[in-house]
Structure 1
Amino acid sequence: METAVSGYDVRQEQKRTMNQQKNNKNTYDNPSISTNILWRLAERFGAQGVSFIVSVVLARLLAPSVYGTVALITVITNILNVFVSSGLSTALIQKQKADDLDFTTVFVFNICMSLVLYTGLFFSASAVADFYDMPQMLPVIRVLSLSIVLGGINGIQQAYISKKMWFHLFFKATIGGTICSAFVGVGMAYAGYGVWALVGQILTNQLMDTVILWKMLDWHPRFRFSYRRFRPLFSFGWKVFVSNLIDTFYKNLRSLLIGKVYTQSDLAFYNRGNHLPELIISNVNTSIQSVFFPAYSSANGDKTTLRALVRKSISVSTYLIFPAMTGLAVVSSTLVRLLYTDVWSAAVPYMWIGCFSYAFWPLHTANLQVIQAMGRSDISLKLEIIKKAVTVICLIWSIRYGVFVVAVCALPLSIFSLLVNSFPNKSLLNYSFRMQITDIFPALWMSGVMGSCVLLAGTLPLTGFVKLAVQIIIGGVTYLFLSIVSHNPSFGYVKARAVSLCRKKSEQQIE
């Protein structure tokens, strides 16, 4: 009898293990996750593709100093927008059973906070303009800071969509807002409105995005506030808020200091050099991570499932981002001169640095998001304090040596931050930094080989757009060939999900 029971227990344990493995596989191969990633990629690339074309047109119509003025104001509004959400959007997504009262409570808080911040910035605008000795900033600050109020509304809409994983709605709203804002921005620039063309584009984009989502969503906020619901959300969210505030302030601190110590044109070249790398990162990495974070949160603390998800997230995102960053760095000189003219050639060195610095963002965000999804926002806060304390010291030291030295210091600091971000997950998920390097190595070596081929293609006796097109084609074909012959699992994953989505769309059309 004892032997029989023991055998029964073994069979039951084997069955549970097989079911667990099956569930883990289904979790990170979940078609809904894959479909939502593709929707997010389509949304980001569609919108940013239009925005990129508009930015090229505007860069040819407007002076670099105009971009420097708007960049400074955008830095300020970006920091204040962190106060609006206060980490509560992340708390809503992380909460297992967030209902209508939770969302309306956060909505009321966001609106009240955004109005307070806008009022404060409106009356302090003259002090900001005096600090930078730029009186022309005053009216621009007061108008552009309306984006804070729009962000209070739009932030809760995005949290609701992310929670429900209805990412196709992002595609429709973002594309609509981007196209409308493109007409406004270019039209105002041609009419000679200068800096107001950029202001009009930014506000129109955010306004249309908010209005379209309001029309499409089945949920609309009501002015109901529950302190009982707010308290646990804030208990989690305030740590995320402080982490995001430190991170956002740090990311924009370089622009704040450059705008103060150096000229508006210096700031414009620095920002323009970082624009394209950041554009690619924000499209690919944000699309993937925004879909995986709700999936992390819904894993209910299952460490095996979480580890499988985060490994898949890092592998897929680096598979897409590494070649993009490598290729952009190699062709940056040709690309900047073709798109923006020689006036912007000083931005090329900053683009090189930006490409290599941003390439490792998928590891940063995946490590931090899985920590937050496990409810450990306290660890996330501690990590931000450690990283930013070191990086701010380096920034203060480097600012005296010029803008280029400030940019170069970002490279070693990025590696340092990566080590810090990955450290907790060695104990939390048994996912060490060495394992993460193993997961990204296939994309790393393939991107290196691809970059060398693109660099060699640049020596061909070609010029202009022909040279750029040849380099892009050679790079794409090389990376695809390496992916196939090496049987890269991320390539197989992306291919399978893309084919599945196309087949699903074809079936829907037939029906």
Structure 2
Amino acid sequence: MRISGASEQDPPEGFRARVRSALAWRWGSQLVAQFITWGSTILVVRLLDPSDYGLFAMSQVIVTALHFLNGWSFASSLIQADEVGERDIGQVFALLLITNGSLAAIQLLLAPLVAGYFGQPAVADLLRVQALIFAMIPFTALPTALLARRLEFRSQGIANLVSAVTAAATALVLAWQGFGVWALIYAPIAGFAVRALIMSVAARLWVRPVFNLKGAGRMIGFGGALTLCQLFWIIQSQSDIFIAGRVFSVHDLGLYSEALFLTLIVTGRFIPPLNDVAFPAYAELHKAGRSLGPYFERTAQSVLLVVAPIYIGLSLTAPEAILVVFGEKWTGMAPIVSGLALVMPLMALQIICSPTCTATGKERIYLATSIAGAAIFATSFLIGVQYGAQGLVHAWWVAAPLLLIFTLALTLPQIDLSVKRLAQALAPPALACLIMAVVVLGLRQALPADIDPVATLGILGSAGAAAYAGILYFVWPDVVRQSIAMIRRTPADPLPPHASARAPADRTSTIAD
């Protein structure tokens, strides 16, 4: 039996309907799941100490690094392929079993060495238990890829919600019962187990692994290239904790790691689900001979419309937000959050570039940007760590824009999109955020010094949101209308290629997916 892509059979309206449904389930379920996770996280943070998060961050350096090498990219090769047969599926299953079994063994062997590197014996036990995660990945990655190939995200949405509830409940109960850092360890394991079970049942693809890999060259090549990219992404994303772990105290590392977690919530939790839908959608469009430039332009603008005000607002109100939400013992991370939030809109744009390259078979571009990211970020962190947590923040300020410039220089020519058109599309949210910042800073200066932090947060947040929305509505009304309409539009129905933000009243493209 062969499983074909749907781009040639589906009429445009059928494709639009599938993308709408995919986005609704994938991104909508992620939104609900994150609200559940946030609620649990806030309560757990109040119950635990920064030192617990410091130990957890040390273990996560290795867990996250190995997790990026878990072979998920082999499963992704099924999405990009023109046709997929049962043998292909069995071979991917075998590759996933081999890869994750090896990673679990490596983590067990590395556990005492990592504990010795950080000077924290408890880290070894944390890593040994977390090796269980790799046993569940093959039973999640394979059904996820096959369902994504057909743009069927309903089952994934349900799995995400149930998994989030399970993990949140586990973390909260264990933290309440005094398990300390172990609450952070067992919660994701419980979530992974539930998600693997639901996805395996939903896919209804009870295939046997095929360990004879003859004829699997294409998927190994594609998956290997993406895995190599992930290796360099590991260096980029984990080098700050790895370097700081030997320099900072456990308490200070906990403050930095939790500040980083907080500021990466949007880029790390909400942008990837968009990419999950964009990858198969872009692949179908590319197979149909469509240029991806207009779709990426709309995606970039709408992502920045949502992400930029959240991050700039967080940066401007970090002292009050941290005190009100997390409590007094966490106020030390406020300046870290404030600094990191400033650069995160650039990281959001960086992340959405990857599907355009992988969907069109240009993995070399993705590899080049991954290598550049590893070199730029690791070097910046090595220099910045000498100046404490703020030194790492300043390293982000240097590394993120440099990497984005490099990535866009390689990506835009491949999708027939000019720098000028992209800049015009991004101008409305960027300028609206600038005006919002002026309003909030001016209002902060006018407020009494002894005002309650809850009131301050409410006043500044409301004023900033009103300023941002007001500027967009009165200066770029088309942007607002098109952003609302994007939930009814899809990559199969782009605006005309010439549509761009030349002047406040001109038509401006918005997100397609």
- Report the AA paired with residue 141 of structure 2: G
TM-score, normalised relative to structure 1 = 0.87
Residues in 2 aligned to 1:500 and 1:377: alpha-carbon distance in whole angstroms? 28
User: Contact 2:243–2:381 (CA<8 Å) still a contact in 1?
Assistant: no
User: Contact 1:387–1:420 (CA<8 Å) still a contact in 2?
Assistant: no
Deviation digits for residues 87-140 of structure 1, max 9, x if unmatched? Answer: 323322222223443233212211121112212221332222122111112221
Match of 1:402, SS?
A: helix
Deviation digits for residues 363-391 of structure 1, max 9, x if unmatched? Answer: 21233321221111122212322332233
Deviation digits for residues 9-47 of structure 1, max 9, x if unmatched? Answer: xxxxxxxxxxxxxxxxx6999343344333333222211
**Residue of 473, 476, 488 corresponding to 2:462:** 473
Residues in 2 aligned to 1:377 and 1:251: alpha-carbon distance in whole angstroms? 20
Partner residue, 2:301: 315
User: Contact 1:285–1:361 (CA<8 Å) still a contact in 2?
Assistant: no
Residues in 1 aligned to 2:286 and 2:70: alpha-carbon distance in whole angstroms? 28
Change (3 A) 1:394 1:478: closer
Unaligned residue ranges in structure 1 (runs of 5+)? 1-25, 502-511
Partner residue, 2:262: 276
Match of 1:474, SS?
A: helix
- Report the AA paired with residue 236 of structure 2: Y
* Larger mean Cα displacement after TM superposition, 197-206 or 303-312: 303-312
Partner residue, 1:263: 249
Partner residue, 2:453: 464
Change (3 A) 1:385 1:123: closer
Residues in 1 aligned to 2:441 and 2:183: alpha-carbon distance in whole angstroms? 37
Partner residue, 1:51: 37
Unaligned residue ranges in structure 2 (runs of 5+)? 1-11, 491-513
Does residue 126 of structure 2 align to residue 140 of structure 1? yes
Partner residue, 1:349: 335
User: CA offset at residue 67 of structure 1?
Assistant: 0.7
Give the alignment of 1:400-411 within 5 angstroms. Answer: 400-411=386-397
User: Contact 1:46–1:175 (CA<8 Å) still a contact in 2?
Assistant: yes
Partner residue, 1:30: 16
User: CA offset at residue 226 of structure 1?
Assistant: 4.9
* Larger mean Cα displacement after TM superposition, 111-120 or 78-87: 78-87
User: Contact 2:92–2:209 (CA<8 Å) still a contact in 1?
Assistant: no
Give the alignment of 1:354-369 within 5 angstroms. Answer: 354-369=340-355
Deviation digits for residues 141-177 of structure 1, max 9, x if unmatched? Answer: 1001211222333222322232221223222111111
User: Contact 2:232–2:373 (CA<8 Å) still a contact in 1?
Assistant: no
Does residue 466 of structure 2 align to residue 482 of structure 1? no
Identity %: 18
Change (3 A) 1:116 1:153: same
Partner residue, 1:505: none
Match of 1:98, SS?
A: strand
Residues in 1 aligned to 2:315 and 2:350: alpha-carbon distance in whole angstroms? 21
Partner residue, 1:19: none
Residues in 1 aligned to 2:83 and 2:461: alpha-carbon distance in whole angstroms? 47
TM-score, normalised relative to structure 2 = 0.86
Residues in 2 aligned to 1:425 and 1:120: alpha-carbon distance in whole angstroms? 35
Partner residue, 2:382: 396
User: Contact 1:88–1:106 (CA<8 Å) still a contact in 2?
Assistant: yes
Does residue 188 of structure 2 align to residue 178 of structure 1? no
User: CA offset at residue 487 of structure 1?
Assistant: 4.0
User: Contact 1:419–1:433 (CA<8 Å) still a contact in 2?
Assistant: no
Does residue 405 of structure 2 align to residue 419 of structure 1? yes
User: CA offset at residue 334 of structure 1?
Assistant: 0.6
Q: Which has the higher helix share?
A: 1
Residues in 2 aligned to 1:218 and 1:486: alpha-carbon distance in whole angstroms? 51
Q: How many residues align?
A: 477
Residues in 1 aligned to 2:199 and 2:341: alpha-carbon distance in whole angstroms? 33
User: Contact 1:101–1:225 (CA<8 Å) still a contact in 2?
Assistant: no
- Report the AA paired with residue 428 of structure 2: P
User: Contact 1:28–1:309 (CA<8 Å) still a contact in 2?
Assistant: no
Give the alignment of 1:90-489 within 5 angstroms. Answer: 90-300=76-286, 304-458=290-444, 459-461=446-448, 462-489=451-478
- Report the AA paired with residue 109 of structure 2: F
Change (3 A) 1:488 1:251: farther
Moved over 6 A (4+): 26-29
Deviation digits for residues 322-372 of structure 1, max 9, x if unmatched? Answer: 111111111111110111112111111221222122111232123332122
* Larger mean Cα displacement after TM superposition, 265-274 or 92-101: 92-101
Change (3 A) 1:275 1:241: same
User: Contact 2:30–2:269 (CA<8 Å) still a contact in 1?
Assistant: yes
User: Contact 2:20–2:488 (CA<8 Å) still a contact in 1?
Assistant: no
Larger radius of gyration: 1
User: Contact 1:106–1:156 (CA<8 Å) still a contact in 2?
Assistant: yes
Partner residue, 1:42: 28
Partner residue, 2:493: none
Residues in 1 aligned to 2:15 and 2:202: alpha-carbon distance in whole angstroms? 29
**Residue of 468, 482, 495 corresponding to 2:484:** 495
Residues in 1 aligned to 2:207 and 2:441: alpha-carbon distance in whole angstroms? 53
Match of 1:298, SS?
A: helix
Residues in 2 aligned to 1:31 and 1:316: alpha-carbon distance in whole angstroms? 20
